[in-house]
Chains A and B, each alone.
Chain A
Amino acid sequence: MLKIEKIHYEIGGADIIESISFDARKNEFVSIIGPSGCGKSTLLRIIAGLIKPTGGDVICMNKRIEEPVREISFVFQDFALLPWLTNIDNVKLGLSYFDIGAPEKDKIAMELLARFGLEGFEYAYPNVLSGGMKQRVGFARAIAQEPSILLMDEPFSSLDELTATTMREDVLNMLKTKDIPVNLVVMVTHNVEEAVQLSDRVVVLSNKPTHVKQIKAVPLKQPRNTRSKEFTGIIDEIYATLTG
């Protein structure tokens, strides 16, 4: 469904990403993990069409991605809510691709906010929300676009651990829901345990100039026992690859 082919990215003459290639299939949850500065956030933005790679292609369902498209949505690390718009207006931004009237947009946005547990906060501004709530608005906005692919840039790293744990579960449940069209998630993270908990496959990146070191499959059934031998074994393997 998503083909990353020989992505190369350099800036100011220095190679950040040397060559990255991998596939992502339907109904998969793929994590990208790598050392600081290896360009994983940049890679995600290249996939989103926000940044142009200096070489290589991103192919999504046989279409080359050169700019953002409706089928690919994005959840930001710092939530990226526009502070001067109400929460419902922020969610409605996700409906910009659709040519529908304002009342219908309102209805859809209200439903989404309710689904994410934010009923009552529609007309408030982001500044009254906690981090977890802001990220939920971020998710609502991203889902509003009805994307088939959801890209997430360290979506839980700005949250405290308790909130993050809850949200990880919520995201997994959300993806199981029938009426959410997302059937591929690509998540960038620096948290190995998080990657192993959520993903079907983990793409492990090297240091700069970055290439794919390993693609580790996680064939464990959800919900995963984070203390099982298999789980910790996979974590150890990935750490070994990262530091090796």
Chain B
Amino acid sequence: MMALLPLVASLVLDTSVSWLRMLVALFFSMLLGLGIGILANRSELAERIIIPLLDIFQTLPILAFFPVVIYVVVATLPGYIGINAAVIFLIVTSMVWNIAFGAYEAIKSLPVEFVEVSRVFRLGAMEKLLKVDIPAAMPRVVDQSMLSWAVGLFYLVTSEIFSTGSKSYTVTYGIGVALTQLASRGNVLDYVVGIVVFIAFVVVTRFLLFGYLERRFIKRSGRAAQQPNILSRILLHQTLVDAASKRISGFGREVGRIAQQGPGAAKKKRAFAASGARRATPAISRLSASRFYHAAVLIAVVAVVLLLVTNQGIRNDEYLVLVALALSIARIWLAFAVVLLVAFPLGVYIVFLTRKGTAYLTLFQIIASIPATILLPAIAFSLRGQSFSGELVAFIVFFLSGIWYVVFGIVSSRGTIQENVMEVKKVFGVRGAKAWRYIYSKAVLPGLITGGITAVAAEWNASIVAEWFTTSGVSNGTVITSVGNGLGRLLDLSLANGNLTLMIIGLINLTAVIIIVNRLFWKRAYRKVMQVYK
């Protein structure tokens, strides 16, 4: 083991550089998110265009686009400016949608009287912006930023680890890079120290940065101030899956918002509608969203068919992509099935069967704050050379990426479950298998769905490093682990070979699959379930 002090010092340096990227990304995300949210409220047309786009972007596994982003950005801005810009850009794309939605919803639900006040007192556009819109949006923006930060960390770590794949685009400093190097040297203890340093940074950031932002912008009502304990407040992963309900565009967003706020919010919502305030948007944006989508899909399909018919090269590429995609889908959903098998009893246990639920939750939140991919170098290097190492590594990374979202989804849906469910169970003596069948499994279903959609998305995000991991950027290693074939692997190889066309075709197919599964499966399942659960 390396001497402790220099090791910690160098790790702190690396993590600080990573954090710098995060802070720059956060700054731009807040700026952009605020801007987009305000813009979407300007006119109905703006709303109809922007919101569906946000919905789409939020459901896409942005990380899968990283190879393309690297290719394009590094070609334009070579050197360490380029690659850092690419990483920061990627982190922004992971954070900005949540924040934009938050700002949009906050301004949208402003009582109509505030708008009237600004008209009566003839506030100029700038003044209204500064005195009404921005202050109204800030609490939600800060709230969503904390959530986005957690998501961003996953992207940060994964993109840094990914970048070790080639000398031409490795970032020089960063916790992801540092850990990859430590893993390649086989230093287990050093690796653990690295993770500890990482967690320390996460905790400190929560206290200093977000604590400050919270105090400044969010006035806590008594209810909200009663968060269970400091540690769970610090890590806040529970709210990560509340955002998942927003991924199920329109419908889920509305319910997710209500669920997040608890029972009193349904009343607030009614009052809001009754006060003649702005029209109930989800219905409208859903309607125009579907028109927008249909038009876009039609154009896309026509374009695709034309291309396929006229171009042999594209046909070949498409074939390659379809095969790779099918395998990745199988892999990801298999891992997801295992995630469900584990998360369901675990979630039910935490919510219903134990009194130490909060303690377990806090423990899991700490574990979950470590992005699954940060363990990838360790897992990959230790399993390297074993048979099936590629598939095994992919499976483990997918599993770890997805499991916490489902667990937290189940646990956070506890707020929507009536308090007297357990009383009913006890009074009427519902026990054992009956309890599991009639109570537990049904009660956690909404949470399973909202958690599930985020889990699968997270798995797709991880696929570019889970299916193909190489560290030629920082060591003289060749490919460390790789699956036989898969979309993540295909995208990585295309980057290595400079095959932009293949990358783009791959991404188009991936996007199509994600959107189709989202609409035909997740949204339908959620709607069906929520019709009955109120």
Q: Tell me whether A82 and B423 are in contact (CB under 8 A).
A: no
Q: When the two chains form the complex, which single residue of A45, A70, A83, A85 contacts B429, counting CB atoms closer than 8 Å? A: A70
Name which of B54-62, B65-73, B373-381, B438-446 contacts chain A: B438-446
Q: Tell me whether B427 and A48 are in contact (CB under 8 A).
A: yes
Q: Tell me whether B429 and A76 are in contact (CB under 8 A).
A: no
Residues of B within 8 A of A70 (CB): 429
Contact status of A80 and B420, CB under 8 A, knowing A94-B428, A96-B428, A97-B428: yes
Q: Whole-angstrom distance from the CB of B121 to the nearest CB of chain A?
A: 42
Q: Tell me whether A73 and B427 are in contact (CB under 8 A).
A: yes
Q: Tell me whether A82 and B442 are in contact (CB under 8 A).
A: yes
Q: Report A74-120 residues with CB < 8 Å from chain B CB.
A: 74, 76, 78, 80, 82-85, 89, 93-94, 96-97
Q: When the two chains form the complex, which single residue of B420, B430, B443 contacts A93, counting CB atoms closer than 8 Å? A: B430
Determine whether B424 belongs to the interface, using a CB cutoff of 8 Å to chain A: yes
Q: From B418, B428, B431, B439, name the one whose CB has the most chain A CB atoms within 10 angstroms.
A: B428
Q: Which residue from chain A places its CB closest to the CB of B425 in the assembled complex?
A: A93
Q: Report B515-530 residues with CB < 8 Å from chain A CB.
A: 529
Q: How many chain B residues touch the partner (CB < 8 A)?
A: 22
Q: Tell me whether B427 and A125 are in contact (CB under 8 A).
A: no
Q: Tell me whether B428 and A141 are in contact (CB under 8 A).
A: yes
Q: Tell me whether A127 and B426 are in contact (CB under 8 A).
A: no
Contact status of A50 and B426, CB under 8 A, knowing A78-B418, A83-B533, A127-B534: yes
Task: Count A/B pairs, Cβ under 8 Å.
Answer: 63
Q: When the two chains form the complex, which single residue of A74, A84, A93, A97 contacts B445, counting CB atoms closer than 8 Å? A: A84
Residues of A within 8 A of B439 (CB): 82
Determine whether B532 belongs to the interface, using a CB cutoff of 8 Å to chain A: yes
Q: Tell me whether A89 and B423 are in contact (CB under 8 A).
A: no
Determine whether A199 belongs to the interface, using a CB cutoff of 8 Å to chain B: no
In the complex the two chains form, what is the Cα distance from A85 to B434 in whole Å? Answer: 13
Q: When the two chains form the complex, which single residue of B424, B438, B529, B534 contacts A80, counting CB atoms closer than 8 Å? A: B424
Determine whether A68 belongs to the interface, using a CB cutoff of 8 Å to chain B: yes
Q: Report B66-94 residues with CB < 8 Å from chain A CB.
A: none
Q: Tell me whether A84 and B533 are in contact (CB under 8 A).
A: yes
Determine whether B421 belongs to the interface, using a CB cutoff of 8 Å to chain A: yes
Contact status of A50 and B427, CB under 8 A, knowing A78-B420, A82-B439, A82-B442: yes
Residues of B within 8 A of A74 (CB): 423, 427
Q: Which residue from chain B places its CB closest to the CB of A94 in the assembled complex?
A: B428
Q: Tell me whether A96 and B532 are in contact (CB under 8 A).
A: no
Q: Report A170-228 residues with CB < 8 Å from chain B CB.
A: none
Contact status of A50 and B438, CB under 8 A, knowing A94-B428, A127-B532, A141-B428: no
Q: Tell me whether B532 and A83 are in contact (CB under 8 A).
A: yes
Q: Tell me whether A93 and B426 are in contact (CB under 8 A).
A: no
Q: Tell me whether A76 and B423 are in contact (CB under 8 A).
A: yes
Q: Report A17-48 residues with CB < 8 Å from chain B CB.
A: 45, 48
Q: Whole-angstrom distance from the CB of B208 to the nearest CB of chain A?
A: 32
Determine whether A67 belongs to the interface, using a CB cutoff of 8 Å to chain B: yes
Q: Tell me whether A68 and B427 are in contact (CB under 8 A).
A: yes
Q: Tell me whether A82 and B424 are in contact (CB under 8 A).
A: yes
Contact status of A76 and B445, CB under 8 A, knowing A85-B438, A141-B428: no
Residues of A within 8 A of B421 (CB): 80, 82
Contact status of A93 and B424, CB under 8 A, knowing A82-B438, A84-B445: yes
Residues of B within 8 A of A82 (CB): 421, 424, 438-439, 442-443
Q: From A49, A84, A89, A94, name the one whose CB has the most chain B CB atoms within 10 angstroms.
A: A84
Residues of A within 8 A of B429 (CB): 68, 70, 96-97
Q: Whole-angstrom distance from the CB of B429 to the nearest CB of chain A?
A: 5
In the complex the two chains form, what is the Cα distance from A168 to B431 in whole Å? Answer: 32
Determine whether A135 belongs to the interface, using a CB cutoff of 8 Å to chain B: no
Q: Which residue from chain A places its CB closest to the CB of B443 in the assembled complex?
A: A84
Residues of B within 8 A of A78 (CB): 418, 420
In the complex the two chains form, what is the Cα distance from A185 to B531 in whole Å? Answer: 36
Q: Whole-angstrom distance from the CB of B236 to the nearest CB of chain A?
A: 27
In the complex the two chains form, what is the Cα distance from A89 to B424 in whole Å? Answer: 13
Q: Tell me whether A80 and B426 are in contact (CB under 8 A).
A: no
In the complex the two chains form, what is the Cα distance from A9 to B318 in whole Å? Answer: 71
Contact status of A68 and B445, CB under 8 A, knowing A96-B434, A125-B532: no
In the complex the two chains form, what is the Cα distance from A48 to B428 in whole Å? Answer: 11
In the complex the two chains form, what is the Cα distance from A82 to B417 in whole Å? Answer: 9
Q: Whole-angstrom distance from the CB of A106 to the nearest CB of chain B?
A: 15
Residues of A within 8 A of B418 (CB): 78, 80, 83
Q: Tell me whether A67 and B426 are in contact (CB under 8 A).
A: yes
Residues of B within 8 A of A49 (CB): 426
Write the A126-141 contact mask toward B (1 if CB under 8 angstroms, else 0). 0100000000000001
Residues of B within 8 A of A94 (CB): 428
Q: Which residue from chain A places its CB closest to the CB of B426 in the assembled complex?
A: A68
Q: Tell me whether B428 and A145 are in contact (CB under 8 A).
A: yes
Q: Whole-angstrom distance from the CB of B415 to the nearest CB of chain A?
A: 14
Residues of B within 8 A of A141 (CB): 428
Contact status of A93 and B532, CB under 8 A, knowing A80-B420, A82-B421, A85-B438: no
In the complex the two chains form, what is the Cα distance from A68 to B424 in whole Å? Answer: 10
Q: Whole-angstrom distance from the CB of B352 to the nearest CB of chain A?
A: 13
Q: Tell me whether B442 and A93 are in contact (CB under 8 A).
A: no
In the complex the two chains form, what is the Cα distance from A127 to B418 in whole Å? Answer: 14
Q: List 20 other contacts, CB 8 Å, given A76-B420, A82-B424.
A: A49-B426, A50-B426, A68-B426, A68-B427, A73-B427, A74-B427, A76-B424, A80-B418, A80-B421, A80-B423, A82-B421, A82-B438, A82-B443, A83-B533, A83-B534, A84-B532, A93-B428, A93-B438, A97-B428, A127-B534
Q: Can you list 23 A-B pairs with a CB-CB distance of less than 8 A?
A: A50-B423, A68-B429, A74-B427, A76-B420, A76-B423, A78-B418, A78-B420, A80-B418, A82-B442, A83-B534, A84-B442, A84-B443, A84-B445, A84-B529, A84-B532, A84-B533, A93-B438, A96-B429, A96-B431, A125-B532, A127-B531, A127-B534, A145-B428
3 smallest beta-carbon distances between A and B, as pairs: A80-B420, A84-B442, A74-B427
